[in-house]
Amino acid sequence: MKEPKVLVTMQDIQRYRILKDVIEKKLKATQASLILGLSYIHTLRLKQKLARAGLKGLLRPGRQAPNKIPAEKIKLIASLYKK
């Protein structure tokens, strides 16, 4: 199976570094939540995801649009239009 595309942004890298500091106890979760602009509870959720799955736990998988027309159907429509 294909592995889904994953987009890494600078915000994701910043979150990763700050949450890594929280896990290593260099920074408190309350301080991290203020830096990231997130609630304390959400910061704890992200910390758990990072501890479980690493950086992939923080990333959002890229998804196709649910209403995207398949390429085969587009080719069929184009061929019918040309005829």
CA distance 38 to 67: 32
CA distance 74 to 38: 43
- Contact between 50 and 61 under an 8 Å Cβ cutoff? The reply is no
pLDDT tens for each residue of 54-67: 888 888 776 777 88
pLDDT tens for each residue of 19-34: 999 999 999 999 999 9
Q: Would you say the pTM of this structure is higher than 0.85?
A: no
Q: What integer best gives the mean pLDDT of the chain? A: 88
Domain locations in the chain? Answer: 10-82
